[in-house]
């Protein structure tokens, strides 16, 4: 090696060492969401605030180019907040990422009276990755400039200018009223920069507690989604961690709290890949669940101008979401099984909303709802009572049967069926009206826990009819009961026992291995343990329903003449015996069963007699 080569190598080494010591090192990658100080917006319904805050540590051109490639021009800038609000919602956007930073629902409070912030920078983070020829770039780590008026009803554009006519735009439109935010993702001049494949949206939300019962909150918290064939799916609603990968493209998904939703909706595109998680950390009492949505949509749709989406940040209110948000979006409000849903959707909710116009006290509203329902069911109640009256008229004859045949339950049943056939009475006629009212009870059981109208509505000692009234707090957990006692549930239980006692006094004891009268007292006590943690509005409804039913039956009793009923039964007996009475299908079936039972008994007796004695 000659002298010139040696000097050249030493100079190169010196330059390399100098670069390492003199040039600044690239800073750490900035976090997805930056926390910033926000100034109070100007007064008025539609207001905007754009306050400059300290920007992220600047990247040098080399580091920016290495990390963001062709997007390096938008990798540095100033971060500021832009606030847009309407009468229902206040949304804070941020120029770092051009994304939603905070959502305040103005008409709602948390269970402890604090402002209900559905989205904030501390608990909700998103990433929006676009494929490029050199790798993926997270759009939510770029800096945007705003154009347009930051007012409700007007679009506001966040533009990341990359130079040479290249840009990415995110356009938001907050409505003049309501909770649906329109969103457009656009690109300009990036055909030679962007790659192929899908845009990926990753959304992680550490769901905060808005209702008083953490355990109940966790059971209700989930992720709902609608597939491209309009199949409504969701993660299991329980306190465990769950996850799912959709086998079909998805139209929308919603992160569901008990009474609130944060949703992403594809309008003229589809979420071609979608996976969802709802994770529970039992040791973390500050978070209900951590919801994670990982979805993708075609970049080709964005390039073609089809990058139109929607966000919904608002209450899970059937009246609010039943139309105009997205297909089948109202299914986020659970209204019961398919057989019960029409009862709630087309009867109870419209009646409830109608009564709301005239009655502001929701406890009284529920009372009026009970009276209205009971009036509609009066014909069935009357029929059930007259059937019970027929059974009471036959009680002396049934007692005679029991005395004649003894404790042989099978023989008792056969003789009673024969008696029913003789007088033209169907023992099921009293059951059918009762069974007809059961769907109503089950429908309400599904509706009340999901009815946001009851949320934070007080009545008597209950501060919130949408949750249990903890009239007595134990300070410790009792198995199956919890750490409290609901007075409305106790009242419901007492009224149910009273109703059972009233029924037992007017209903004859049916033969059989199970004492139904005893069970009628046991069931209300069992339900007390089940319903102790259910909404006070539901147990109040059941209590009032029991009281009104007893009063209704006492009133009907004044119109039913049991002497006339006995005369009719005696007349039926004569007609049927003479063959002139017209039998119902049930009576004909009963007669066939009696004949078959009698024939089987004769064959058994005959076989017994033929057996040789040992």
Is the CB of residue 532 less than 8 Å from the CB of residue 484?
A: yes
Distance (Å, rounded) from C-alpha 322 to C-alpha 180?
A: 13
Q: pLDDT value at position 29? A: 35
Both 384 and 487 in one domain: the answer is yes
Q: pLDDT value at position 590? A: 56
Q: Is the pLDDT of residue 443 over 80?
A: yes
- Dihedrals phi, psi of 98, to nearest 5 degrees: 55, 40
Q: pLDDT value at position 65? A: 66
Task: Retrieve residue 233's tokens.
Answer: 């799916």
Q: pLDDT value at position 481? A: 84
Task: Retrieve residue 201's tokens.
Answer: 């949206």
Average pLDDT over residues 198-225: 94
Both 355 and 325 in one domain: the answer is no
Both 304 and 160 in one domain: the answer is yes
Using DSSP, state whether 256 is helix, strand or coil.
Answer: strand
**DSSP codes joined into one string, 53-92:** EPPPPPPPHHHHHHHHGGGGGGSS--EEEEEEE-SSEEEE
Enclosing H/E stretch for 129: strand 124-132
Both 429 and 552 in one domain: the answer is yes
Q: How confident is the model at residue 295 (pLDDT cuts 50, 70, 90)?
A: very high
Average pLDDT over residues 138-165: 91
Using DSSP, state whether 29 is helix, strand or coil.
Answer: coil
Both 100 and 207 in one domain: the answer is yes
In a domain, 30, yes or no: no
Lowest-confidence segment of 110-114, 189-193, 538-542, 564-568 by average pLDDT: 564-568
Q: How confident is the model at residue 5 (pLDDT cuts 50, 70, 90)?
A: very low
Both 280 and 173 in one domain: the answer is yes
Q: pLDDT value at position 321? A: 94
**Which of 2-6, 216-220, 516-520, 574-578 shows the highest mean pLDDT?**
216-220
Tens of pLDDT, residues 194-206: 888 899 999 999 9
Q: Is the pLDDT of residue 109 over 80?
A: yes
Q: pLDDT value at position 127? A: 95
Average pLDDT over residues 517-534: 84
Both 369 and 289 in one domain: the answer is no
Nearest to 100 by CA among 109, 87, 91: 91
Nearest to 469 by CA among 497, 440, 443, 492: 492
Tens of pLDDT, residues 313-351: 999 999 999 988 999 999 999 988 888 889 998 899 999
Distance (Å, rounded) from C-alpha 262 to C-alpha 313?
A: 5
Q: How confident is the model at residue 482 (pLDDT cuts 50, 70, 90)?
A: confident
In a domain, 613, yes or no: no
Q: Is the pLDDT of residue 17 over 70?
A: no
Using DSSP, state whether 39 is helix, strand or coil.
Answer: coil
In a domain, 172, yes or no: yes
Return left, alpha or beta for 324; rule: phi > 0 is left, psi -120 to 50 is alpha, else beta.
left
Q: Is the pLDDT of residue 23 over 60?
A: no
Distance (Å, rounded) from C-alpha 307 to C-alpha 467?
A: 41
In a domain, 4, yes or no: no
Q: pLDDT value at position 3? A: 47
Lowest-confidence segment of 38-52, 213-227, 242-256 by average pLDDT: 38-52
Q: pLDDT value at position 90? A: 97
Q: How confident is the model at residue 591 (pLDDT cuts 50, 70, 90)?
A: low
Domain ends where: 532, 551, 567? 567
Burial label for 377, CB within 10 Å (0-12, 13-18, 19+), is middle
Q: pLDDT value at position 251? A: 96
In a domain, 411, yes or no: no
Question: What are the C-alpha distances in Å from 234 to residues 22, 288, 337, 397?
Answer: 56, 17, 15, 57
Average pLDDT over residues 138-149: 91
Average pLDDT over residues 594-599: 63
**DSSP codes joined into one string, 343-368:** HIIIIIHHHHHHHHTT---HHHHHHH
Q: pLDDT value at position 97? A: 94
Both 99 and 207 in one domain: the answer is yes
Q: How confident is the model at residue 290 (pLDDT cuts 50, 70, 90)?
A: very high
Q: pLDDT value at position 72? A: 81
Domain CATH for 278: 2.70.98.90
Q: Is the pLDDT of residue 580 over 90?
A: no
In a domain, 574, yes or no: no
Both 300 and 355 in one domain: the answer is no
Using DSSP, state whether 223 is helix, strand or coil.
Answer: strand
603 contacts: CB under 8 Å, gap ≥ 6: none
Q: Is the pLDDT of residue 4 over 60?
A: no
Domain ends where: 302, 332, 362? 332
Q: pLDDT value at position 433? A: 61
Query: How many degrees, rounded to 5, is the angle at CA 161 between CA 156 and CA 167?
Result: 80
Distance (Å, rounded) from C-alpha 279 to C-alpha 288?
A: 9
Domain range spanning residue 480? 349-403+423-567
Number of domains, the chain: 2
Q: How confident is the model at residue 610 (pLDDT cuts 50, 70, 90)?
A: low
In a domain, 21, yes or no: no
Is the CB of residue 491 less than 8 Å from the CB of residue 532?
A: no
Q: pLDDT value at position 150? A: 84
Both 328 and 353 in one domain: the answer is no
Q: Is the pLDDT of residue 21 over 60?
A: no
How much is the mean pLDDT over the chain?
81
Helices (DSSP H) in 459-561: which residue ranges? Answer: 487-506, 516-531, 536-557
Q: pLDDT value at position 601? A: 62
Question: What are the C-alpha distances in Å from 146 to residues 92, 149, 160, 449, 493?
Answer: 13, 9, 9, 43, 61
The percentage of the chain sitting over the pLDDT mark of 90, rounded to a whole number, equals 44
Q: pLDDT value at position 74? A: 83
Tens of pLDDT, residues 154-197: 999 999 998 888 899 999 999 999 999 999 999 998 888 888 88
Compute the chain's Rg from CA coordinates.
36
Both 325 and 354 in one domain: the answer is no
Q: pLDDT value at position 38? A: 35
In a domain, 166, yes or no: yes
Both 385 and 321 in one domain: the answer is no
Distance (Å, rounded) from C-alpha 191 to C-alpha 189?
A: 6
Q: How many CA atoms lie within 13 A of 490 on its CB side?
A: 9
Domain ends where: 531, 547, 567? 567
């Amino acid at each position: 090696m000659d002298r010139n080569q040696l000097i050249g190598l030493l100079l190169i080494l010196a330059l390399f060492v100098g670069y390492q010591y003199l040039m600044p090192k690239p800073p750490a990658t900035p976090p997805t969401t930056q926390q910033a100080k926000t100034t109070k917006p100007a007064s008025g319904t539609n207001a905007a605030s754009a306050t400059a805050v300290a920007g992220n540590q600047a990247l040098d051109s080399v580091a920016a180019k290495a990390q963001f490639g062709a997007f390096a021009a938008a990798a540095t800038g100033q971060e500021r907040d832009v606030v847009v609000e309407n009468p229902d919602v206040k949304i804070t956007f941020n120029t770092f990422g051009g994304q939603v930073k905070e959502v305040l629902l103005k008409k709602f409070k948390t269970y402890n009276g604090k402002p209900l912030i559905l989205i904030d920078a501390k608990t909700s983070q998103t990433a929006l990755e676009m494929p490029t020829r050199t790798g993926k770039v997270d759009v939510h780590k770029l800096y945007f400039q705003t154009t347009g008026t930051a007012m409700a009803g007007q679009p506001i554009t966040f533009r990341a200018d990359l130079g040479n006519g290249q840009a990415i735009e995110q356009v938001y439109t907050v409505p003049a009223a309501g909770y649906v935010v329109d969103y457009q993702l656009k690109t300009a001049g990036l055909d030679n920069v962007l790659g192929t494949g899908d845009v990926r949206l990753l959304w992680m939300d550490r769901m905060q507690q808005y209702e008083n019962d953490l355990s109940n909150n966790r059971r209700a918290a989930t992720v709902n989604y609608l597939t491209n064939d309009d199949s409504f799916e969701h993660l299991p609603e329980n306190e465990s961690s769950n996850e799912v990968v959709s086998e079909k493209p998805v139209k929308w998904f919603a992160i569901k709290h008990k009474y609130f939703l944060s949703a992403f909706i594809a309008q003229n595109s589809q979420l071609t890949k979608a996976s969802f998680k709802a994770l529970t950390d039992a040791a973390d009492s500050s978070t209900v669940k951590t919801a994670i949505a990982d979805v993708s949509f075609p970049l080709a749709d964005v390039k073609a101008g089809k990058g139109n989406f929607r966000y919904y940040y608002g209450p899970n209110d059937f009246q609010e979401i039943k139309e105009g948000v997205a297909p089948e979006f109202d299914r986020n409000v659970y209204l019961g099984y398919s057989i019960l849903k029409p009862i709630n959707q087309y009867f109870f909710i419209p009646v409830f909303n109608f009564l709301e116009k005239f009655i502001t006290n929701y406890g009284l509203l529920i009372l009026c709802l009970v009276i209205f329902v009971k009036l509609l069911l009066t014909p069935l109640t009357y029929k059930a009572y007259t059937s019970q009256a027929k059974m009471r008229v036959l009680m002396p004859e049934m007692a005679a049967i029991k005395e004649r045949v003894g404790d042989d339950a099978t023989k008792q049943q056969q003789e009673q069926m024969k008696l029913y056939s003789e007088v033209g009475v169907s023992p099921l006629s009293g059951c059918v009206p009762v069974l007809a009212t059961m769907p109503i009870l089950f429908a309400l059981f599904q509706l009340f826990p999901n009815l946001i109208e009851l949320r934070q509505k007080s009545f008597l000692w209950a501060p919130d009819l949408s949750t249990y009234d903890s009239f007595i707090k134990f300070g410790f957990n009792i198995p199956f009961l919890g750490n409290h006692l609901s007075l409305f549930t106790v009242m419901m239980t007492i009224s149910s026992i009273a109703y059972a006692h009233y029924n037992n006094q007017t209903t004859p004891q049916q033969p059989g291995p199970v004492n139904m009268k005893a069970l009628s007292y046991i069931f209300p006590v069992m339900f007390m343990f089940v319903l102790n943690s259910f909404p006070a509005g539901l147990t109040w409804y059941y209590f009032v329903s029991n009281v009104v039913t007893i009063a209704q039956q006492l009133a009907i009793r004044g119109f039913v003449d049991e002497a006339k009923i006995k005369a009719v039964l005696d007349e039926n007996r004569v007609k049927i015996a003479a063959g002139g009475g017209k039998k119902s299908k049930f009576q004909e079936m009963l007669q066939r069963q009696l004949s078959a039972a009698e024939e089987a008994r004769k064959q058994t007796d005959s076989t017994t007699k033929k057996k040789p004695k040992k």
